[in-house]
A and B are shown apart, each in its own frame.
Chain A
Amino acid sequence: SQQGEEDPQALSIQEGENATMNCSYKTSINNLQWYRQNSGRGLVHLILIRSNEREKHSGRLRVTLDTSKKSSSLLITASRAADTASYFCATGQNRDDKIIFGKGTRLHILP
């Protein structure tokens, strides 16, 4: 079954607002990654957070990880039209196992 599940499936917000999307997973992980996909194109890596980290920042992005709840959140502050995309979380358990992507959250920034 899918390891990571994003929530919500779709999100529409006004430009300038903050966007929060969540990812839940089922088993222990080595790390969790967030990727962005613009319509019909390849994915772009955003942030990698390791299982022993609780929070990580990159520009307007903030990722938290709660291993006790097996969940992560991605916060995009001061959203822009260019942030319109699908966002996926990806989890990996160990070096011999595949990375599993969730189904993604479709984010639409309204002008």
Chain B
Amino acid sequence: EAGVTQSPTHLIKTRGQQATLRCSPISGHTSVYWYQQALGLGLQFLLWYDEGEERNRGNFPPRFSGRQFPNYSSELNVNALELEDSALYLCASSFVNLNIQYFGAGTRLSVL
């Protein structure tokens, strides 16, 4: 069974540009979570999607947005990139909320 897959692995952008990160959950999982992990720091919760709806959102500006598709895959969009957006972005999926989360390998976003 395939695990959580994220693409791309690395992404290099310049300030002001937009970034799109993608995540495919484990088959059968309806919940998808996005986290930001700046270098050497913990995970900051970004977004939680379930059954195509945004269920919860972390303390991030509106330029961080996303969506979940009918096949439960998800996309994270970051508009008007700033230098401090450089981080590892992790996606996780679970069968139901509060259950075990399975993580992808992450997308490392570098903003120059």
Contact = CB atoms under 8 A, between A and B. Distances in A.
A and B part of one assembly: yes
7 contacts: A33-B100, A35-B103, A40-B88, A45-B101, A98-B48, A98-B56, A101-B43
Interface of B: 4, 33, 35, 41-43, 45, 48, 55-56, 58, 88, 90, 92, 96-106, 108
Which 5 pairs, one residue from A and one from B, show the smallest C-beta to C-beta distance?
A42-B103, A103-B42, A92-B98, A101-B43, A98-B56
B88 A99 contact: no
Contacts of A103: 41-42
Given A30-B98, A31-B98, A43-B90, A88 B48 contact: no
A95 B48 CA distance: 12
Contacts of A2: 42
A100 B99 CA distance: 13
Interface residues of A, number: 26
Nearest to A98: B56
A48 B96 CA distance: 14
Contact of B56 (A90, A97, A101, A104): A97
A100 B96 CA distance: 15
Contacts of B108: 40
Contacts of B99: 48
B95 to A, nearest CB: 12
A13 B105 CA distance: 27
Contact of A42 (B58, B90, B100): B90
B98 A95 contact: yes
A101 B45 contact: yes
